[in-house]
Structure 1
Amino acid sequence: MSLHGIGLILLAVLTGTASVVLATALARWWDRRSGRARPRLPQGLESSLKPMVLLFRDQALVDATPPARALLDRFSAPEGDWARLLQWIGPRFPDAINALGGIDRSGRFESLGQTGAGSAALRLVVEQIDPGLLRITITDPQAEYAGIVVDSMSQQAMEEELDLLRRSLDQTPMLVWRQDAEERVTWANAAYLRRAEGQSDEPIGWPLPRLLDAPRPVPGSGTRTRRASLNQNGAVSWYDCHSHQTGEQTMMFALPADAAVRAERSLREFVQTLTKTFADLPIGLAIFDRQRQLQLFNPALIDLTNLPTGFLTARPTLFDLLDKLRELRMVPEPKDFRSWRQQMSNLESAAATGHHVEEWSLPGGQTYRVTGRPHPDGAVAFLFEDITSEMSLTRKFRAEMALGNSILDNIGEAVVVFGPGGRVAMANGVYRDLWPGAPDDLGGALACWQSRAEGGPGLDALGARLGGAEGTLRDSGLIVGPGGRLLGWTVTRLPAGRQMVRFRLPDPATQADPAGQRPLAATAAR
């Protein structure tokens, strides 16, 4: 080859090399200008991968790598680092606890983790270097020898937590779903899917159907809870719905509320029944809560107190209602306002602590019985009852009783009435004067008569007659009473098993025997 040929070959080589160098320089300049950088190797490949290794001597931590110390710091155990390690190893390597107890015989133990999935499965290696000195190594088998940099502990925790959350949402009885701004369902849990499948005979697809209509607020709940119904094959189910906004999506939680709906319906029906019952009562009823505001009243309260309906529907306090009654002259006339307020305060406190009854004699001649009763949760109820007729009847009865007693005291005969049990039901003043200190029972009275009267057939016949002895009994007779006076007695049967005994002095004209042969004293002695 000539010198000219060799020069041409060298020129071609140099030209090609210069072209490659120039192209590479231009490419790097363009990457830097356009903001693109050459991919860098992972940090784990640029430096050595730090393993998770712990050294224990007699269960005391001697040394540990930074990842291992970070693992121990995640747990708290007062017994020390060994207890912290066992707290983490126990649920993940079930057979490791027993193996650690026999490490002195085996010298080495290796186990693959039972929890986690995929790359979250871990391997535990325990080696006895010297007596009492253990080296514990925790590694990721899939990351070993592959240059993969991953925090296996964090990945395992995330996978375990993700699995727990999925299982919890699928097993919960409440409906959970996510919807976008157009209220399209973009995700749902298993309970929602089961409900959706039960609503249609055909397989469901995406987007999922909306099961619940726009929820409405729960009346009187005071919360943001909204209630919605779901009709499935004629059966209506109720749910309390809660929403949580996350960006443009909304998470919805529907808790079963069938029991609450049934309880509320029963409560409404019960209140309606009570309201109808209270409306027919002739007794005025007013129930006050623990703040002493009127919560419930019946029409009889308006009829008895003449309180305006508008005033009662405005839920006045107890003292406002009592002040209004005072203005209407429907309370006893007080001596002064201070004593009136004290009296009403005593009424309120007595009703709140126990059963309390008062009788109000009104200026118009009416008489009301006011009863206060405590109710649960500090409430108190007042009952207003018109007892004017009852008081009039009681006064009339007492007047008639006083008249009857006055008549008995002035008939001139000693009269005593024994009840069915032998107790004295009534006795006039003449009887008390004739037999002073006589007991109030039949046996004691007979003993008193026998001790103060002379014995004889007449007294025996009286005792037999009152004692109910068998045989022919006389209803009257004579005895020699206190002071030797001759007394005639008569026993009369009254209704309801009562017996009336009368003692009387015989007429002077009949002091002799009808035959005229012997005095009555001798006859009585017979």
Structure 2
Amino acid sequence: MILHGIGLVLLAVVTGTLSVLLAMALIRWWDAGRGTRGMQLPQGLDSSLKPMVLLYRDQRLVDATAPARALLDRLSVPEDEWARLLQWIGPRFPEAMEGLARIDRSGRFECLGQSGTGSATLRLLVEQVDSGLLRITITDPQAEYAGIVVDSMSQQAMEEELDLLRRSLDQTPMLVWRQDAEERVTWANAAYLRKAEGQTDEPIGWPLPRLLDSPRPVPGAGTRTRRASLNQNGAVFWYDCHSHPVGDQVMMFALPADAAVRAERSLREFVQTLTKTFADLPIGLAIFDRQRHLQLFNPALIDLTNLPTGFLTARPTLFDLLDKLRELRMVPEPKDFRSWRQQMSNLESSAATGHHVEEWSLPGGQTYRVTGRPHPDGAVAFLFEDITSEMSLTRKFRAELTLGHAILDNLGEAVAVFAPGGQVVMSNRAFRDLWPGADSLGHALACWQNQPETGPGVDALGARLTQPDADLRDSGLMASPQGQLLGWSVARLTGGRQMVRFRLPDPAQQGGSQPLLAASAG
């Protein structure tokens, strides 16, 4: 019985030990299984480490990985996917074009990129899988085995764009800075820093000083603009400041405006000079814009037309001004309103298309010259000039000329005045009747020498007129076309002119040949 009890105890102990060992083995196996499953990589991490691979058949895209398609999508121009890829590869891999040209012979081509910034040094691998089928792989050697979950192509694009933006902002002549809500400068470009350093001899600290009183954007109003000045070393610099809200801060852009300020100042001075000049002109000036509204006039216009100042300052239209002039009887008296209106329309259209001049004889006895000139952008300028005295002087001069001609025509002698060039500048009726066709010295000499009977008097007259400076006689005798005896004399006038007078024969001496003998003797 005792042996049987000991056997039962031993059996129980062995059974318990085996159970514990089996349980421990099961627990270890279970933990090992869980640990192995916990060491597996997530599916998202697998996809993020996909290489950039493109498969082309006869330069047509057959397949590509997700990063490669993302790269092609960023290159939206040109539309051809092969041309898009070459446009991206060309600047980064200078040897790629030559390698692609001989890929049919070599079957494989590999090179490193020669451009790029930061850690983006790329490697290009081109393999000819089959006839016309190319596999192109682009990788970053530095990140190839590092397990970095970053698209190296995107990183390179961002680094290049960042470098371009930094260089652009540092080289631009405009001032760019950022301000916070308390108007403290939190960032500035190189041009702003140079200006800030020029304001003081001491090193500038942080935050940077504010240089310009720039505008603050109004919420909901968008961008605002303001012109501000900066005094530096006795010189004044002008800027056109623009503000753009960016979150809770404001970006400021100050464009140099010195040339614009100088041009505006010159324009103001020029306009002031013109205004003073127009004010002193005795000619009335009225300038109308393309809608024919009065934009500019001078005091002489009021003096000449008696138009009220308030009427002119109200900027009337051209036809309103002409109607007002008609009411004041400062335009020619028309036969009827319709013809007058048509005349004024013709005046406006002629002035708009070219230089136009009219003379207005006013009911009060005055005479105005109205000149219309086109101006740029469809504007028209009218000038009103009082020419009453000029017209009176012209009429008086014409009357005196008419009187002088009448006196010459009633003289008992034939008179003609020759200019230095031989032209007949003046003659009376008796000369024209005596020598028809003698409208110049050459024609007169031919007429005198072609007479049936000539003598030494004709030669003496021709020599005297053709050689005015020679010491020749100033008078003599010659035969008329009717064979009568004529006495001639030549007198010098101012300006090199010469006056010839022919004394007509006395009617009591007509007939006979004795005058011709006398002419020959003379």
| TM score, norm. by length of structure 1 | 0.83
- Quote the offset at 1:236 in angstroms: 0.7
- Quote the offset at 1:149 in angstroms: 2.5
Q: Secondary structure at the match of 1:369?
A: strand
* 2:485 counterpart of 1:486: yes
Q: Deviations over 1:221-255 (max 9, x none)?
A: xx953110011111110001111122221111110
- Could you say which residue in structure 2 is the equivalent of 1:265? 265
- Could you say which residue in structure 1 is the equivalent of 2:447? 448
- Quote the offset at 1:163 in angstroms: 1.8
* Correspondence list, 1:162-201, <5 A: 162-201=162-201
- Quote the offset at 1:265 in angstroms: 0.9
Q: Deviations over 1:360-414 (max 9, x none)?
A: 1111111111112222232222221111111111111111111111111112322
Note closer, same or farther for the CA distance 1:72–1:224 as it changes in structure 2 (3 Å cut).
Answer: closer
Note closer, same or farther for the CA distance 1:224–1:411 as it changes in structure 2 (3 Å cut).
Answer: farther
**Contact 2:214–2:243 under 8 Å retained in 1:** no
* 2:413 counterpart of 1:418: no
| TM score, norm. by length of structure 2 | 0.83
- Could you say which residue in structure 1 is the equivalent of 2:35? none
Q: Distance in 2 between matches of 1:313 and 1:470?
A: 67
Q: Distance in 1 between matches of 2:49 and 2:269?
A: 73
**Contact 1:488–1:505 under 8 Å retained in 2:** yes
1:268 maps to amino acid: R
Note closer, same or farther for the CA distance 1:77–1:302 as it changes in structure 2 (3 Å cut).
Answer: closer
**Contact 1:480–1:486 under 8 Å retained in 2:** yes
- Quote the offset at 1:109 in angstroms: 3.9
1:466 maps to amino acid: L
- Could you say which residue in structure 2 is the equivalent of 1:255? 255
Note closer, same or farther for the CA distance 1:454–1:189 as it changes in structure 2 (3 Å cut).
Answer: same
* 2:521 counterpart of 1:522: no
* Correspondence list, 1:74-223, <5 A: 74-75=74-75, 80-103=80-103, 108-118=108-118, 120-129=120-129, 133-214=133-214
Choose 300-309 or 466-475, whichever is displaced more.
Answer: 466-475
Q: Deviations over 1:4-36 (max 9, x none)?
A: xx9xxx9xx9xxx9xxxxxxxxxxxxxxxxxxx
Aligned residues: 484
2:479 maps to amino acid: V
Note closer, same or farther for the CA distance 1:113–1:395 as it changes in structure 2 (3 Å cut).
Answer: same
2:273 maps to amino acid: T
Q: Secondary structure at the match of 2:54?
A: strand
Q: Distance in 1 between matches of 2:253 and 2:53?
A: 45
* 2:71 counterpart of 1:52: no
**Contact 2:464–2:470 under 8 Å retained in 1:** no
* Correspondence list, 1:221-260, <5 A: 224-260=224-260
2:92 maps to amino acid: R
Q: Secondary structure at the match of 1:460?
A: helix
Q: Secondary structure at the match of 1:482?
A: coil
2:418 maps to amino acid: F
Note closer, same or farther for the CA distance 1:520–1:175 as it changes in structure 2 (3 Å cut).
Answer: same
Q: Distance in 1 between matches of 2:470 and 2:245?
A: 103
1:428 maps to amino acid: N
* Correspondence list, 1:36-75, <5 A: 44-45=44-45, 49-57=49-57, 59-75=59-75
Q: Secondary structure at the match of 2:450?
A: helix
- Could you say which residue in structure 2 is the equivalent of 1:330? 330
Q: Distance in 2 between matches of 1:72 and 1:108?
A: 23
- Could you say which residue in structure 1 is the equivalent of 2:476? 477
Choose 134-143 or 363-372, whichever is displaced more.
Answer: 134-143
Note closer, same or farther for the CA distance 1:121–1:456 as it changes in structure 2 (3 Å cut).
Answer: same
1:155 maps to amino acid: Q
1:347 maps to amino acid: L
2:205 maps to amino acid: G
Note closer, same or farther for the CA distance 1:264–1:216 as it changes in structure 2 (3 Å cut).
Answer: farther
- Could you say which residue in structure 1 is the equivalent of 2:348? 348
Choose 439-448 or 153-162, whichever is displaced more.
Answer: 153-162
Q: Distance in 2 between matches of 1:184 and 1:471?
A: 99
Q: Distance in 2 between matches of 1:460 and 1:224?
A: 95
* 2:266 counterpart of 1:281: no
| Aligned-pair identity (%) | 83
Note closer, same or farther for the CA distance 1:79–1:471 as it changes in structure 2 (3 Å cut).
Answer: closer
- Could you say which residue in structure 2 is the equivalent of 1:432? 432
Q: Distance in 2 between matches of 1:53 and 1:46?
A: 15
Show structure 2 runs of 5+ residues with no match.
1-8, 25-39, 218-222
2:201 maps to amino acid: D
1:474 maps to amino acid: R
- Quote the offset at 1:327 in angstroms: 1.7
Note closer, same or farther for the CA distance 1:371–1:471 as it changes in structure 2 (3 Å cut).
Answer: closer
Q: Distance in 2 between matches of 1:195 and 1:91?
A: 37
**Contact 1:175–1:189 under 8 Å retained in 2:** yes
2:478 maps to amino acid: I
Q: Distance in 2 between matches of 1:486 and 1:119?
A: 123
Show structure 1 runs of 5+ residues with no match.
18-39, 218-222, 513-517
Q: Secondary structure at the match of 1:333?
A: coil
- Could you say which residue in structure 2 is the equivalent of 1:495? 494
Q: Distance in 2 between matches of 1:324 and 1:274?
A: 27
- Quote the offset at 1:126 in angstroms: 2.9
Note closer, same or farther for the CA distance 1:462–1:211 as it changes in structure 2 (3 Å cut).
Answer: same
**Contact 1:215–1:228 under 8 Å retained in 2:** no
Q: Distance in 1 between matches of 2:163 and 2:468?
A: 97
